[in-house]
Amino acid sequence: MKRRWRADLRGVYIIWYRDVLRFWRDRPRIVAALAQPALFLFIFGSGLSASIGGAARGSFGGDYVRFLFPGVVTMAVLFTSIFSAMSIVWDREFGFLKEVLVAPVSRSAVAIGKALGGSTQAVLQGSVVLLMAPLVGVTLTPLLLVEVIPLMFLLAFALTSLGIAIASRMKSMEGFQVVMNFLMMPMFFLSGALFPLQGIPAWLQVLTRLDPASYGVDPIRRVMLAASGLPDEFARGIELLGRPLAMAEEIGILAVFAALMLGLAVRSFAAQE
């Protein structure tokens, strides 16, 4: 039993290391992945901030771009984490996955290694976007990094596990991309990354409360706003049952979702042929 545990831990490490190494060596991918966050932050954010004028100054603590920045960071985490699961479909098409599945490690170790690898990629990508903070007036401090990076990792782990659960059932990269695009865009737009979740229509409130990304965006925004000395009126917690949730409650909900998605991913891998 002890030997089996060691083999599984080594398998988790090797799969994690392989995915992170592939990501790190693909420098053009890292640079290209910055294009979309930069587009939202400097073009969409600046244009919308100018168009709504005084409303932006009154409602968003003086600058809509600073309100938008945490959402852009989580956008990089969301997209990278879910699409990192594409490597499973790629490995299946080229036969590498079959070699992994016949290795003397449990399939749960393979799923966990993939989840950790995708989460690490997403955190690295989000950290690169986080370096843009001084450009938009968000204070970047060591304490902020200590608080934000674990939140980014938890969100990334939950979404990567979701992506793995789906990718393990897909037979082609084209099919996976269609499903992910259909899933990711609503998840991103309903997360509160682009607008506050307070004061929205009731039907939209229901959808945002069902979106797991909402429980990752709000804690990250609250931490960044506090570090910058900005009021957190528009990040005072997602309201459930008539009251705003504390940050610890939001993190707890996201952690439960992450555990459920990891269990689903492990189960999906166990059913692989």
Buried b (16+ CB within 10 A) or exposed e, 249-268: bbbebbeebbeebbebbbeb
Q: What is the pLDDT of residue 182?
A: 82
**Alpha carbons within 13 A on the beta-carbon side of 16:** 15
**Of how many residues is the chain composed?**
273
Which pair of tokens denotes residue 25?
Answer: 């060596």
SS3 of residue 239 by DSSP: strand
In the chain, where the domains are located? 2-270
In angstroms, the first-to-last Cα distance of the chain is 25
H helices, E strands: number in the chain? 14, 2
pLDDT (0 to 100) of residue 158? 93
* CA distances, 113 to each of 27, 29, 101, 149, 265 (Å): 22, 21, 13, 19, 11
pLDDT in tens, the chain (273 residues): 566 667 778 778 888 888 888 877 777 777 766 777 777 777 776 666 665 544 444 445 457 778 788 888 998 898 888 878 777 777 776 666 666 666 666 777 788 888 898 899 999 888 888 888 888 878 788 888 888 999 999 999 999 999 888 887 777 777 777 877 788 888 888 888 888 777 778 888 888 888 899 999 989 988 888 776 665 555 566 777 777 788 888 999 999 999 999 998 888 776 665
* Cα–Cα distance for residue pair 262/177, rounded to 1 Å: 21
Q: Which helix (H) or strand (E) holds 243?
A: strand 243-244
User: What pLDDT score does 255 carry?
Assistant: 94
- Under a CB-based contact definition with an 8 Å cutoff, are residues 198 and 204 in contact? no
State whether residue 71 is helix, strand or coil: helix
| Per-residue confidence (pLDDT) for residue 257, from 0 to 100 | 94
Report the alpha-carbon distance of residue 236 to residue 12 in Å, rounded: 38
